[in-house]
Structure 1
């Protein structure tokens, strides 16, 4: 017989089986990596949204409201409901028409873990946190937004002076 230049069926099957085992071992870490990236993205977007609201409030010399786009139960928060929940008696349409609402789009795999996030944050015309309108229970007068994904948690905080920070938390 002449020289064969190819793989036998058995060699191909063994190679595919080895690749399948390696892929099965690697798949869970990819799922965790994607969840972590979405959590990081959620906290980054919330931080950017809070800073954007501070900038708008200062530039416009008007109150600005910022909320995540979903509640802890996963239901949607609209711009109008954000304003009307954060500031009772406020006209949501007026805030929307004046571009005084910031809705932060949270990725699907990241969950809003705190019900206080539903009320959003109200930023005063000076760029500070309005503690009279927010449901702030922390003695340091800090508003916290907690995001969870796959048992990992991150917290975005804004202080009364408007300083935004991120930290690790627990779900």
Structure 2
């Protein structure tokens, strides 16, 4: 469909024949993308840090539950200790050469400590050995995003409190 302009003598083509974007349209889109990225990137970093903390917390809980179930299955004490790189290791208490499980090293920006600073031993009946009523594993983020405390009670059961430790 061709239309003719009455005042200028130029013909205008229909919209079906026009292709591409104008420079102004392109600049508006780039500005909108830049504004959206500026708002989204900090939230994305926070989400990544939160996922690291959740993964570490779940790894500690899983390792403690594994150690308790191994102690019951074997009918003998099982030891849970922290390695120098922050990984959690599970050994047969009578034979420290028998490594049953080891978690990976801690992700960047995450630290793990325990209170009291002593190894956790599960007896063959699944209960925690020693005179401690409970043991705490504090998982801390360098950014303070979502710290967590994993508690093991005398019965060997684990629980999690988000934001509980003083990191």
Tell me if both proteins adopt one fold, taking TM over 0.5 as the criterion.
yes
CA contact (8 A) 1:45 1:106 kept: no
Per-residue CA distance 1:127-149 (angstroms, 9 max, x = gap):
111125xxx5xxxx111101112
Q: Please tell me whether Structure 1 or Structure 2 has the larger radius of gyration of its CA atoms.
A: 2
Identify the structure with the greater helix proportion.
1
Structure with greater contact order relative to length (CA < 8 Å, sep ≥ 6): 1
TM normalised by structure 2 equals: 0.74
Larger strand fraction of residues: 2
Residue pair 2:88, 2:103 contacting (<8 A) in 1 also: no
Determine which of 33, 36, 49 is the counterpart of 1:35: 49
TM-score by length of 1: 0.72
The 1:110/1:54 distance shift into structure 2, 3 A limit, reads farther
User: Quick check: 1:5 aligned with 2:9?
Assistant: no
Q: Tell me, in whole angstroms, the C-alpha distance in 2 between the residues paired with 1:154 and 1:143.
A: 14
How many pairs were matched up? 148
Task: Describe how 1:38-117 pairs up with structure 2 within 5 A.
Answer: 38-68=52-82, 71=84, 75-77=85-87, 79=89, 91-93=95-97, 95-96=98-99, 99=100, 102-105=101-104, 107-109=106-108, 111-114=110-113, 116=115
- Equivalent-residue separation in structure 2 for 1:115 and 1:165 (angstroms): 14
1:34-68 deviation per Cα after TM superposition (whole angstroms, max 9, x unaligned): 11122112112211111111111011011112245
* Residue 158 of structure 2 corresponds to residue 164 of structure 1: yes
Contact 2:63 2:88 in 1 (8 A): no
- Give me the CA root mean square deviation: 2.7
